[in-house]
Amino acid sequence: MRFLALLFLAAPLSAQTIDLSRGQLVDLTHALDENTLFWPTSPTRFQLDRLSYGETPGGWFYASNSFSLPEHGGTHLDAPIHFHRGGVTSDAIDLKRLIAPAVVIDVSAQAARDADYRLTVADVNAFERAHGRIAAGTIVLLRTGWSSRWPDAKRYLGDDTPGDASHLHFPSYGADAVRLLVADRKIAALGVDVASIDYGASTDFMVHRIASEAGVPGFENLTGLEQLPATGAVLLALPMKIRGGSGGPLRAVAVVP
């Protein structure tokens, strides 16, 4: 085979082929380790335990570990059931919502001025004036610039009080903008480079509720969005396939042709 290609539907009547031999692969995933950030009320964190490491009696090297972690921490998926009774679980999400064309809406300038900034309808309209209407089936990624603060919990979450999520401050999506994206644009998924698709000070988690009710998954704690163009990338966001899960660790990779 001379090259690898990825074929996907970019719109109902068109298709696009990405030549992976020429495209740039961008990893949008924070590695899991002892510094991985989780929601402040999470009772546990990531733990890696060594089971084997070294030469075997047979004379070859062998390494093996066990790990444990909550579903919602590090770069991870929020399945619709996370905030909607009867919603789709992690293992049952349509792959077309996980592998799709992506757009990046950059609000890093606004977020730098206001840690509680939320994407507005006006922001979406401005993006579309510059780049065209967001097509159905698109994954929308919101770049706030916050990933540069990882893994400093105080700077990334706005507060590092153990067990307390009532004083968090970080930017994210706004409810009205998400209603537009979900109901009118029929997007596939939402992604963001902060800890939640709701902004840190949220008390009603309305963005989660709107997205989950519509069957739209969320990708949280992404990184590297500054390496992606506003349009033209393809996102592959494949979570651990946990049967019945409300979320799980996510390996997110973008293909930039």
Cβ distance 26 to 18 under 8 Å?
Answer: no
Name the 3-class secondary structure at 112: helix
Angstrom CA distances, 144 to 118, 137, 172, stand at 10, 22, 7
Angstrom CA distances, 248 to 112, 237, 244, stand at 29, 11, 11
User: Is 76 designated active site?
Assistant: no
**Catalytically annotated residue among 30, 76, 82, 208:** 82
Cβ distance 177 to 118 under 8 Å?
Answer: yes
Residue 53's identity, in one-letter code, is Y
Which residues have a Cβ under 8 Å from the Cβ of 162 and sit 6 or more positions away?
40
Which amino acids are annotated catalytic?
82
